[in-house]
Amino acid sequence: MKRILIEDFREVEIPVPWGFISGRWYGNQEVRPILAIHGWLDNLGTFDRLIPLLPDYIGMLCIDLPGHGRSSHLPPGINYGVYDLVYIIPTVVKHFGWNKVSLMGHSLGGIMSFAYTAMAPDTVDMVISLDILLPMRVENGLAIEMFSNYQERLLVEDDRRKVAEKDRKPPSYTLAQMSKNVAEASLDAVTEDLAHHLLHRQVKKAHNHPDQNKFYYSRDGRVKYFNYWDIDTGLGGEMARRIGNKPYLVLKGSLSLHLQPRCDEIFSILAKGNPHFEFYQVEGGTHHLHLQSAEECARYIVPFIQRHRPQKNQSYQEKGSKL
């Protein structure tokens, strides 16, 4: 099997009312690719280690969500919400003129993929979900405290942005410090030696800093305080029933807690009478299993792609596509 070359890509900018969605289209440019969506606070670099393990006959379009990576930030006064980000999927589909979409999502990207597939099942031909299905449940008391805290922090972030724009000196750090921050924030799901895969798209050199080895975070600080969207088991079950017998692959990291027991019922609905539903646990895998254990993930992802997007069915250019 020939694999995608990580250096074989073209930069993509998809226009949106507030700017653009940035992305990289890896591999084959002549057929509809798989749309890959990263997790919260990450960017398309999260797929760096997985992409070179995938078959080259079908490309991968990896995007940065708004406010993440190199995509435009939302306008001042507009906050980030999980539900609202689902809108990005049909935006990409419409831009390229696709009749269908194949989805791969990690964490937040997996929640978006589940939600969109339930909303528009006839437009999705397969889903690959990495260590997620439903959002993690937050207890009511903690949820209220978290929402209140987020509102306060958003106000602080707005003030910080105004000051940074005025004096052009945002808080700056060395790459070593940033790598350590990434590891700590992810509870070592992304270790310091893997952090560069995420940092290369979300930091910029602090040219106005006296220390030329300092960098600052270029992503929108407001994404840290997004509007949480809980999907209770009842709603999740109805969404799963709408998805029907869709090819659906879920991978779980054995060391991760993101697939909570409340997802079991949703799994049962997705799997019932569906020969195309697959679930596997990656031993030793963390929440970022596709970055930490890319080879093990590819063992399941590659045959799934080959079954549901086989090479023989990939035409030179899909009818109605704008490539």
Q: Are 183 and 173 in contact (CB under 8 A)?
A: no
Residue 243 zone, left/alpha/beta (φ > 0; ψ -120 to 50; rest): alpha
Sign of CA dihedral 112, 113, 114, 120: positive
Q: Is 107 a catalytic residue?
A: yes
From residue 311, alpha-carbon distances to 1, 32, 57, 61, 101 in Å are 11, 12, 6, 17, 16
List the catalytic residue out of 71, 72, 107, 172. Answer: 107
Copy the structure tokens of residue 168. Answer: 């052009």
Copy the structure tokens of residue 198. Answer: 């995420």
DSSP secondary structure letter of residue 60: E
Element counts in the chain: helices (H) and strands (E): 10, 10
Q: Are strands 215-217 and 203-205 parallel, antiparallel or unpaired?
A: antiparallel
For the annotated catalytic residues, the residue numbers are: 107
